């Protein structure tokens, strides 16, 4: 996934400063559109209004209208979505040849964005009861993804001028967790594709997008791996088995960000790639466990894929692993079954015994 080119046009708008504090966090979210309490937040309005403005100005690679969407028959209720233009008009992904590939300033990167492609400049301000100094939060720029999956699809760029490679850091993930809580929309999700895990630009960034349907990863129950460090394992009822970290409230965000990144580093050191997905969801024990909804952070370990990504019909990145299937061709969209989708997804993952052994390693790592 990527953003647009570098040349500046006269009259391009500049990003809007968006200052937030802990009082802006909306932990439970609101209802789906049309349900009681489904009003957008201040952040949702700012992001979507500026995103729509850039679409009207022609700063995207294509004009995005309503996308055909259907739920595949089957117990997982995977969400398929047809997006032909993304399949034909997106920028070719950069080749990746290593899990530790350094940032290359000569390749496309996000310092080349035009000012008009930047929507918001997020800055945390101190507020009453805030436990952290605002200086501890990494500044985030929010930019359009010029080949969007959906309305509101954006990139979160932590200090792009530093030229950091696409390796997740705890400060960047913490910023993403806070952004997740700024939205009131239950379908606003964030995620990260690592090197060897379908990252298309080797420059540190996360994705944010609005998905119009519930996904199975929000509510599937998990089994404990290291509960003291908020780590569980999702094995059943999801498209792809994943390690689950859970933040029940804002007090958990820093620890979750730190532990996810420690686990991701271990996965990379083991010769595996990874993807991350952030969504509001039920406690690990599942719906009805007696607590309200918090933030679920899913971490997938996968076989790495190196070289330029082939132009295959079915790409497997953070969205697909979570059960949201953007598809580039109408026949595939009409005909794909849950069984076929799961076969494609599982082809990138570890066998269950290997995944369980990795879970034991992560439990020991986090317990130290």
Looking from the CA of 351 toward its CB, the CA atoms found within 13 Å total 2
Distance (Å) of CA 199 to CA 1, 134, 166, 310: 7, 30, 8, 13
CA dihedral 199, 201, 203, 209 (to 10 degrees): -70
Burial of 25 (0-12, 13-18, 19+ CB in 10 A): middle
Alpha helices in the chain (DSSP H): 42-56, 84-89, 170-182, 253-269, 318-322, 330-335, 338-346, 352-367
* Segment (H or E) for 168: none
Rounded mean pLDDT, 316-326: 96
The residue behind tokens 């791996």 is 225
Q: Both tokens of residue 168?
A: 């997740």
Backbone region of residue 134 per phi and psi (left: phi > 0; alpha: psi in -120 to 50; beta: other values): alpha
Reported pTM:
0.92
Stretch among 37-41, 62-66, 233-237 having the lowest mean pLDDT: 37-41
The residue behind tokens 């088995």 is 241
Question: Which residue of the set 153, 185, 203, 205 is catalytic?
Answer: 205
CA dihedral 96, 97, 99, 101 (to 10 degrees): -80
Rounded mean pLDDT, 116-123: 96
Rounded mean pLDDT, 63-84: 94
Q: Both tokens of residue 123?
A: 């800055």
pLDDT band for position 67 (cuts 50, 70, 90): very high
Give 217-272 pLDDT, tens digit per residue: 999 999 999 877 789 999 999 999 999 999 999 999 999 999 999 999 999 999 99
pLDDT band for position 2 (cuts 50, 70, 90): very low
Task: Answer whether 28's CB lies under 8 Å from 248's CB.
Answer: no
Alpha helices in 166-310 (DSSP H): 170-182, 253-269
Looking from the CA of 259 toward its CB, the CA atoms found within 13 Å total 26
Q: For residue 92, what pLDDT is reported?
A: 80
- The contacts found for 61-66 with CB under 8 angstroms, 24 or more apart, are 61/4, 61/85, 61/89, 61/90, 61/91, 61/146, 61/147, 62/86, 62/89, 62/147, 64/148, 64/150, 64/151
Q: What domains sit in the chain, N to C, each tagged with a CATH number?
A: 16-367 (3.30.428.70)
Helix, strand, or coil here: 87?
helix
Give 139-183 pLDDT, tens digit per residue: 899 999 999 999 999 999 999 999 999 999 999 999 999 999 999
Rounded Cα distance, 231 and 94, in Å: 33
Taking Cα atoms as reference points, which of 243, 180, 171 lies closest to residue 204?
171
Helix, strand, or coil here: 6?
coil
Stretch among 4-13, 154-163, 336-345 having the lowest mean pLDDT: 4-13
Give 29-38 pLDDT, tens digit per residue: 666 665 545 6
* Catalytic residue check, 205: yes
Backbone region of residue 115 per phi and psi (left: phi > 0; alpha: psi in -120 to 50; beta: other values): alpha
Rounded mean pLDDT, 332-337: 96
Q: For residue 95, what pLDDT is reported?
A: 87
Bridge-partner residues for 245, per DSSP? 231, 297
């Amino acid at each position: 996934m990527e953003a647009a080119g570098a040349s500046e046009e006269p009259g391009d708008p500049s990003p809007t400063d968006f200052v937030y504090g802990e009082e802006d966090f909306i932990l439970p979210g609101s209802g789906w559109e049309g349900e009681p309490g489904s009003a957008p937040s201040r952040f949702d309005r700012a992001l979507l209004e500026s995103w729509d403005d850039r679409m009207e100005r022609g700063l995207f690679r294509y004009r995005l209208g309503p996308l055909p969407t259907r739920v595949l028959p089957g117990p997982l209720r995977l969400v398929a979505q047809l997006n032909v233009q993304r399949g034909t008009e997106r920028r070719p992904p950069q080749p990746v040849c290593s899990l530790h590939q350094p940032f290359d300033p000569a390749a496309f990167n996000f310092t080349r964005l035009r000012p008009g492609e930047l929507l918001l400049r997020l800055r945390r301000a101190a507020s009453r009861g805030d436990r952290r100094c605002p200086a501890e939060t990494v500044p985030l720029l929010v930019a359009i993804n010029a080949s969007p999956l959906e309305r509101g699809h954006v990139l979160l760029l932590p200090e792009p001028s530093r030229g950091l490679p696409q390796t997740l850091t705890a400060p960047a993930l913490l910023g993403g967790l806070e952004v997740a809580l700024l939205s009131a929309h239950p379908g606003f999700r964030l995620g990260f594709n690592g090197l060897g895990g379908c990252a298309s630009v080797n420059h540190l960034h996360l994705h944010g997008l609005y998905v119009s349907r519930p996904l199975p990863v929000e509510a599937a129950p998990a089994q404990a791996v290291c509960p003291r460090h908020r780590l569980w394992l999702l094995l059943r009822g999801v498209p792809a088995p994943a390690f689950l970290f859970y933040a029940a409230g804002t007090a958990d965000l820093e620890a979750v960000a730190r532990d996810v990144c420690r686990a991701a580093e271990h996965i990379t050191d083991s010769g595996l790639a990874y993807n991350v997905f952030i969504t509001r969801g039920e406690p690990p024990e599942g719906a009805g466990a007696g607590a309200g909804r918090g933030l679920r952070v899913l971490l997938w370990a996968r076989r790495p894929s190196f070289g330029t990504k082939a132009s295959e019909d079915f790409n497997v990145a953070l969205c697909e692993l979570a059960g949201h299937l953007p598809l580039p061709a109408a026949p595939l969209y009409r005909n794909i079954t849950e069984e076929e989708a799961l076969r494609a997804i599982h082809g990138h993952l570890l066998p269950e015994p290997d995944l369980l052994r990795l879970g034991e390693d992560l439990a020991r790592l986090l317990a130290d």
